[in-house]
Structure 1
């Protein structure tokens, strides 16, 4: 059960209603993350705005989903792991072996994705103070300086979502149930 109300277009503050209505129109349901964020319309608007900006990044959708899944698993956000698993499978078309490795906190079977994952983990662990070796490995995999900053953009977006969901104890929507995730035992 959520610690905060899951708001609907009927119960949300006026400033949050258009965002919830748009989600319902485009997705056919309101992801509970948005229903939680609607309690703070500025947080919901930040999520929608930054998501839109992140979508314009030079990183491919598949790369952005690697970043999102690394952040969500690192932060222990079961809701975001489920949601991004759905996107990774259905829209980004990431290989299933890559998705499963991300979900199981394992090494990725694709060298370029593994380099991106390692860089993202280091960004999170060091709060951006990535080692020269980590940055050079990222560049060596064909990523650009701008894409390094886009990883940080993705991590910042993920942090808002992951922390909000963990704080709120956001329940998984039935539409995402098939993508349910539990952190693997260490």
Structure 2
């Protein structure tokens, strides 16, 4: 049970109502996470705007979803793991690619480098080293890419914290956390 009320889109008003309408149009439903965040129109605008901006970024949807599951698993966020696994599949990732990403791994060397960097950021709370950034540069990632990777991590930390702290009910098909399975 959620620790905060979930805003019913039918009774929402103002900016939250408009944003929830846009979210419903994009998903064909209104995910519970957005209903929770709708308690703050400013937070909802920030989150939805970030998803939109990063969704049209250079990294692409598939890599964005792989980043999301890597972050979700490290933060024990059942909600984000379930949601982003489903979204990753829609973005063209295989089930194996999403399972590997959840572990911070990939058979693609460039994706593996990104996911390793992502895990470092999460586990060391942003304390990346010169060598960590150089590894990305050696794989062809430039300043724009590196900043965008960090922005994906930050957005996913935001969503993870909302869902974990507020116990938002998962409304996507469940996925087991790797750390639980170990």
Equivalent of 1:118, from 110, 116, 119?
Answer: 116
**Residue in structure 2 matched with residue 101 of structure 1 by the alignment:** 100
SS at match of 2:127: coil
Residues 70 and 117 of structure 1 are in contact (CA less than 8 Å); yes or no, is this contact kept in structure 2? yes
- Kindly report which structure 2 residues correspond to 1:150-169, keeping only aligned pairs within 5 A, or say none: 150-169=148-167
**Residue in structure 1 matched with residue 129 of structure 2 by the alignment:** 131
- Kindly report which structure 2 residues correspond to 1:24-173, keeping only aligned pairs within 5 A, or say none: 24-91=24-91, 93-103=92-102, 105=103, 107-173=105-171
Q: Which 5+ residue runs of structure 1 have no aligned equivalent?
A: none
Matched, 1:184 2:177: no
Shift of 1:18: 0.9
Change (3 A) 1:106 1:136: closer
Residues 104 and 116 of structure 2 are in contact (CA less than 8 Å); yes or no, is this contact kept in structure 1? no
- The runs of 4+ residues in structure 1 deviating greater than 6 Å are none
**Residue in structure 2 matched with residue 16 of structure 1 by the alignment:** 16
Q: Which 5+ residue runs of structure 2 have no aligned equivalent?
A: none
Distance 1:59 1:26 in 2: 20
Number of residues of Structure 1 aligned to a counterpart in Structure 2: 181
Q: TM-score by structure 2 length?
A: 0.91
Shift of 1:68: 1.3
